[in-house]
């Protein structure tokens, strides 16, 4: 170990680009972890969502395009187009104290909708990590059609 510490300054001097890249990646990793830790939304795995459904009966909102929703969605999910997603809607506002899970096709768009719910005062907001692609990959049940 002592030999490693003596050679480290020489290595860093010869490989400045690698050292800089390491520092950038380390800072990015720390930033990502802190952002996740302090986020007011939680990303769930398909198994975590299944547990939440069984335990708390959350409101499931699927913001996937209508044709994707009709092909396959989580049983009990309600479809709301992202263009019509309004956290201030009177029907949605009734669920401010319930757990709410936002689902999209791949997990990329759900975070934006979840942040809008948090800003509107919702207390328990979750997203499905990986979206419906992850749900189907986990071979969990899906419903078809518009309900």
- What are the residues whose beta carbons fall under 8 Å from the beta carbon of 99, sequence distance 6 or more? 52, 56, 58, 59, 124, 125, 126
Residue 135: what pLDDT?
A: 97
45-68 residue pLDDT tens: 999 999 999 999 999 999 999 999
Contact 58, 98 (CB under 8 A): yes
Residue 11: what pLDDT?
A: 87
Prediction pTM value: 0.76
């Amino acid at each position: 170990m002592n030999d490693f510490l003596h050679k480290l300054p020489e290595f860093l001097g010869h490989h400045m680009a690698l050292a800089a890249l390491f520092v950038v990646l380390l800072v990015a990793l720390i930033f990502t972890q802190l952002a996740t830790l302090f986020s007011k939304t939680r990303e769930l795995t398909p198994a975590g969502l299944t547990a939440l459904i069984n335990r708390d009966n959350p409101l499931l909102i699927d913001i996937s395009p209508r044709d994707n929703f009709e092909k396959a969605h989580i049983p009990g999910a309600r479809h709301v187009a992202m263009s019509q997603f309004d956290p201030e809607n009177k029907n949605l506002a009734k669920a401010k104290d319930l757990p709410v899970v936002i689902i999209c096709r791949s997990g990329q768009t759900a975070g934006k909708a979840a942040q809008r719910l948090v800003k509107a005062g919702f207390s328990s907001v979750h997203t499905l990590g990986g979206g419906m692609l992850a749900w189907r990959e986990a071979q969990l049940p899906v419903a078809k059609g518009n309900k």
